[in-house]
A and B are shown apart, each in its own frame.
Chain A
């Protein structure tokens, strides 16, 4: 096993990474976000300036216009009001333009991030995909991204605005009294530490919240997908309890997060009060010592409030950032998980013509240290042969098929198809020439025809109908309400189980592979239809290599060669005729199957 360190586990996770590291990592992945950023920044600065200037301008109008020494200076008031109105309007326009730009850039960047994460989930190996609950994977390309957009659209700008206000307020304060300014700054130092501490706690609680969201989705999803089981076993109460427990855990985590944020605010408020009190006390003492005037102190008290507000906003932004970062991290974790089964760089194409297969001392374990699901499998399958793989439940047949189609890579040993090591074959070539029909064939919520041409887009309905005819299923399709245009429902649930398998087989058939792997592909189809279908397939795929896994040993009887798998090892191989009378696993399996399918052989 080469690149696969921990095959059965989920995504790369970096719970300890700092928020800034996450943000930096993320921004690197979103080049679109940086495009046009200077102009947005310029607007943000304008907006910031406006937002800082407006309160001061209003204050000045009051102070200098109305509170002027020689009585109210009405013309000055008018002028100032006009100027203020202009500033307010310009600010509003700047904010509007900035908002629009921000929405456009962030949404563009996030849409692209979403799509990349989506693609990446598909690039992960089946084991990684299974290691993660579907609800969780979905949330990583939906709500976790949304979380980010919330923050990017207001948090970043707000932080910037606050910073601007802070700088302006500090400068103005320093102009009035450097001593008191120093005092205020000293008072706020502890808040810096508090915010840092809170940020760490918040990162943790928000991480928990995001995880709980995944739990809720998983619990709900299970009850929806498993609805028939829930009903049949009358476990509505239990299922509801499981869901409610998940909802409750999410609720409690959210409240915990809320408490923590309240803590941030409380400490901010407290520090502000302390600063105020300190300014009063020290200011008075300084005043008595003649260092500052009463006017300065009074003005300063007003300025302190201008200083406090942005500090609180900024700390709030920092905290909100933790929430967004928790979501961001989950998205990035997807992107950072190296697919353990990778499309090789400069991959080779499979040679033309029928494909043979070679397993060279292949061992596969689902988890490091676990019992191998396949153990030292070493065999060769000649091109153009029809091979049946048989064996008890859990013996490793599906595992064999997945290694053969490179859904997983062996833990050790290697697999060659057409003489080329699988790991060197370009996916484009591999997936076109080697197709597997998995044990649980999945249909999309579309028409029968859409599902069939999934691997060969561009086929017309008529082609699809013709394909069914070739497979001997024409009558069946015509019997459907709308023929090949019949909708199959979500997961294909508007078809019967056997019908779903017919569509899945047709889908693989029209993909026209040179190596076809059928894993219990017709297990739910009635024997008569199955017999007809396999006969048709045998003819249609003659000259290609087919590997069929089946519990119905009729497949083995017809096959050119039978591979018998037992407890992860290939214990027998040969033709049916050779194996059926030889002592061994196959004889046992076959006898049992024969008994079951022919026990009541009753000539009419």
Chain B
């Protein structure tokens, strides 16, 4: 969704200077960046005022990040600028030394013609070097900044805790990484040109003052005007740009969610309503962009007109001075000419300035991601390790989910239990009781608000990074497959041989269907495993866990579409060795539960009872109701399920 991720310099700068005609309009009122400003909404008045200063700081940041490329590009631009001036001198020199004399004499030497040709081509070659330096290095600088910030932003996504992810819509994170980053550094492409143009400005200004200080001052009034115009422009543009970026984000979020929901949209025939929903935002975005366009549409011709008006002012004042004799006509001509040379650098600077509000709007969305705290802290410890299963301890664990508004929904209350190494524990509880939350805590997807989770007696928070995942494997309730091959989805990049992969597939009863896939292990499964059936996806996820021979296996209702015998096989495979793995399994089936050494009954976030299946069945009516719900009524002697209280 990146607009213009690719286009070369936004402002194909006119390469010819001898004419003050603006050949190129900067293309940039444009876009990129979307993302709800969830974190950064509307900036305060005071901050609005600082737009210009923040803009310059932003430019400085770009330069600091890529000093090498920037220097090269500025050198290229300077060379280009110098050669532009030089080419005017070359033509002048040729006129005086070649054209006029040879026309007078009526003859010319081949040598002189060669010299002229060489001079023109020589300057052109240097100019070309300058162009390459400017265009290429400026482009590379911009792309490097984009790539670098994309890496940083996505690095944050991988670092930040799941709780942070839950508060940020996927669509927003995608635009942060893509279009907002792009918007942030887009202005960089014409930046070196503008800096190089300053060389031209300096040369010209010096020449101006040497020729006639008074006229120089008159003409230079243009500069404060340019900056004034820009300051006003930034003020007016910033809020509009921020709004446009936000609407972009919303449009892209709706598109993302709606395409994600495509199946639901179709099955309920809501295509028209979705289009309407999208259309409303698209129209708002249109209005937002038109509002941006109005300002931009005014600013551009102003930047075009100002240098021209400056030249004309010089001519007017100069003409008076020529009339009074304080300046001669020749000097005025050269001054006017020098002013036409100024038009280009002024415009180049204008492009950069004009793009700054957009860059800031984009960067304001990226910055909170980069600044977000809450990296899961890791300690220095290694897990006790060893060949046996891992011991698990859950001590007085409280946990709540915090939503975007900061409200916390308490889900687990003082849960305490232990699982001895090598034992199998079934976690059973009604829908929404907190089983998945508990499972996530065991493998440290989240950290408890209070209390602790122990692995081999060590608090998981003090284990070093990667330690939990080497010891424990987790099969989530919803399977997630990568857009990769079957093999890639099972090994996840680990160095695991095909034999082991096949063995794991066999355990998960996935071997048969994988063999039947067109390319076996090398078949790509599509985004999120789209080309597989629900049960097939689940089996691959199981194989992924089994293949790692974890010391602790946590399965969160991961076998709903898998034959019970498969589940038994998996448990067997993990337990039949001399050093059986510890297994925590969230399950409803009695077959699974009966494989467990112990059952933990969770209800409304509390550990209500634990014991053997038989004990719980006898003592806990809710438990009996739940696990026996499928039995023919005559077989159920425990309380008949009554239609009250899903959570009871």
Contacts and interface: CB of A to CB of B under 8 A. Distances in A.
Interface string B452-480: 00000000000001101110111011101
B416 interface: no
Interface string A223-264: 111111111111110111001100110110111011101100
A601 B631 contact: yes
A454 B270 contact: yes
Contact of B15 (A84, A229, A269, A554): A269
B268 A497 contact: no
Contact of B103 (A287, A475, A489): A287
Interface in A471-491: 472-473, 475-476, 479, 481, 487, 489-491
A247 B153 CA distance: 12
B91 A457 contact: no
A393 B535 contact: yes
A312 B452 CA distance: 69
Nearest to A320: B7
A130 B624 CA distance: 42
B140 A258 contact: yes
In the A-B complex, the 10 residue pairs with the closest CB atoms: A431-B269, A234-B469, A393-B535, A103-B293, A99-B297, A273-B124, A596-B564, A596-B591, A498-B431, A146-B3
Given A528-B629, A604-B624, A224 B269 contact: no
A454 B643 CA distance: 26
Interface stretch (A13-21, A348-356, A380-388, A436-444): A436-444
Given A81-B315, A99-B296, A103-B289, A147 B3 contact: yes
Contact of B1 (A93, A143, A285, A604): A143
B625 A153 contact: no
B7 A496 contact: no
Contacts of B3: 142-143, 146-147, 150
B293 A107 contact: yes
Contacts of B248: 142, 146
B121 A52 contact: no
A526 B275 contact: no
Contacts of B298: 96, 99
B451 interface: no
A258 B22 contact: no
A455 interface: yes
A25 interface: no
A247 B151 contact: yes
A454 B268 contact: yes
Contacts of B347: none
B640 to A, nearest CB: 11
16 contacts: A8-B531, A66-B319, A74-B319, A100-B290, A122-B274, A150-B28, A150-B30, A151-B27, A258-B135, A277-B121, A294-B103, A313-B12, A398-B533, A405-B267, A524-B431, A524-B560
Given A58-B336, A224-B173, A600-B613, A284 B102 contact: yes
Interface stretch (A157-165, A172-180, A184-192): A157-165
B593 A552 contact: no
B415 interface: no
A379 interface: no
A570 B353 CA distance: 69
A204 interface: no
Given A217-B178, A431-B268, A138 B312 contact: no
Interface string B572-596: 0000000000000000111111100
Interface residues on B, range: 35 or more
A270 B274 contact: no
B409 A481 contact: yes
Query: Of residues A269, A520, A554, which shows the largest number of chain B Cβ atoms within 10 Å of its Cβ?
Result: A269
Contact of B113 (A273, A281, A298, A535): A281
Interface string B404-443: 0001010000000000000000000111100110001001
Interface class of chain B by DSSP = helix
A291 to B, nearest CB: 11
A137 interface: yes
B275 A220 contact: no
A85 to B, nearest CB: 5
Interface in A75-109: 77-78, 81, 84-85, 88-89, 91-93, 95-96, 98-100, 102-104, 107-108
Contacts of B19: 55, 305-306, 309
A273 B157 contact: no
Contacts of A95: 297, 300-301, 304
A29 B290 CA distance: 21
A55 B430 contact: no
A142 B34 contact: yes
A487 B131 CA distance: 55
Given A51-B21, A103-B290, A138-B252, 13 more contacts: A91-B305, A104-B290, A115-B275, A147-B4, A150-B27, A223-B154, A231-B445, A269-B124, A305-B18, A393-B536, A431-B268, A531-B641, A599-B591
A445 B564 CA distance: 34
A494 B166 contact: yes
Contacts of B283: 111
Contacts of A435: 267-268
B78 to A, nearest CB: 17
A220 B173 contact: yes
A409 to B, nearest CB: 13
Given A111-B285, A216-B178, A595-B564, A298 B27 contact: no
Nearest to B509: A393
B233 interface: no
